[in-house]
Structure 1
């Protein structure tokens, strides 16, 4: 009877779960498979252990869309952001943003070229903007969300001088043809990074996608003091930004 029960459970698992997805303990437990039994299935070759408490079907490899969908259920606010959201076809590594400070699981980061960023870049209190600035990333990235261009621009500018090069950021910025002024204005006044806001205003004037002076008259966008904001970039060059571009 015990052997029949064991076979029945693994048969149900094989029948109901798609291939290439991470099978964590909570998923297995919903089908009546205990931690101990999952370990037994791995020992018998019915499952392959990829990390502590995470399995896949034997002979299967984890797909990026499935792995991202799994992580989106584990990490609050996880989405594709910054440069990756603007230049999806060129971005390597894939830039992920989230609402909490976490380390991506080793089994994930060892298989996929990704990096994760966490920063309280926006003050969302009393705002519905977070939902308006995320959209579906597309089938190639599973069920994860992706920043709209307006949000992605500020995420990218926040990383300039560190993990994001100034040259690539300017190229991506200049190629964004459409920005919704109401969304952009709300994001700018909620953005907590002086560097990101000043750099946006500077490049906004240079690239001309919107009227910067009109936006400044319509939204309260704090940019710090009236002095220039100066910092040395990772490549040794200096970035100097005036308050309003």
Structure 2
């Protein structure tokens, strides 16, 4: 026999953000007990996604909706980053990558819940990284459904993308993305470059930004950005850039085919 639509359940369903997940800590805070959840699941008012997570029946949950629940309910420091963040902030109109997977970043040792990995593991690429401080260069972007996701700013996202190049992203196309980033904010870019733990990323961004003659380059305090020592080879065969001690694809060096 089905359980009636109680006041607690009605309030829960009415307040539920469309296409998102409700986690056990969130439901407990709303006053629902483990017995309530067992009854609602058995009566098909709720659908279990695995331990500690539920969705509404007949509703499709997107990775964005699941991530919103991870961020807002579980408070995990996981954000949308790299190419996906650039797409969400309107920098994707000329991109040709088309991996189809969303890039999520977090500090080291942050693990997405098992239910998230089971249902959305193929849709996302979760990168655990110490590239940048977890709180620097983050913002909120609205999804089409209307809820906010913590997302890398363009300044942070481009460094995350370069961190993944050339393994995840083609360097020449990364250079094309940098060419279009004419609105980078100097103060934030300076802070990110100083905090960035990767010599390769710092050098590569500065080279590509200089090559593209981005306005931000006129305002950066280069003496405060540590470029490290030694050469960095990003390709097996390419052209050497002495100023930044980088071996890059020939296409990224003027007159260097």
Q: Which runs of 5+ in 2 are unaligned?
A: 246-257
Determine whether 1:164 maps to 2:174. no
Residue matched to 2:225? 221
User: 1:55 aligns to what?
Assistant: 54
TM-score w.r.t. structure 1 length? 0.79
List runs of 5+ in structure 1 lacking aligned partners. none
Tell me how large the CA RMSD over aligned residues is. Answer: 2.9
Q: Does 1:81 align with 2:81?
A: yes
After TM superposition, give the deviation of residue 101 of structure 1 in Å: 2.6
Instruction: Find the aligned partners of 1:155 and 1:47 in 2 and give their Cα distance.
Output: 38
Q: Is the 8 A contact 2:184 2:216 kept in 1?
A: no
Shift of 1:18: 3.7
Report the secondary structure of 2:183's partner residue: coil
Partner-residue secondary structure (3-state), 1:104: coil
* Distance in 2, Cα, partners of 1:75 & 1:241: 43
1:68 aligns with 2:67: yes
Shift of residue 166, structure 1, vs aligned partner? 1.6
Please say if 1:115 is aligned against 2:119: no
How far, CA to CA, are the matches of 1:75 and 1:209 in structure 2?
Answer: 36
- Give yes or no for contact 2:76–2:110 (8 Å, CA) kept in 1: no
SS at match of 1:140: coil
Cα distance in 1, alignment partners of residues 148 and 243 from structure 2: 39
Counterpart of 1:39 in structure 2 is 38
- Separation of aligned partners in 2, 1:151 and 1:186: 10
Q: Please give the per-residue CA displacement for 1:196-234, whole angstroms capped at 9, x wherever unaligned.
A: 0111121122111037476354x4111111x321245xx
Moved over 6 A (4+): none
The change in CA–CA distance for 1:211 and 1:68 in structure 2 (over 3 A counts) is: closer
Contact 2:143 2:149 in 1 (8 A): no
Q: Secondary structure of 1:215's partner?
A: coil
Structure 1 Cα separation of the partners of residues 67 and 214 of structure 2: 32
Which of the residues 80, 94, 98 maps onto 2:102?
94
List per-residue Cα deviations over 1:138-184 (Å, max 9, x = no partner): 23373112222211111111111222222332221112122222222
More helix by share: 1
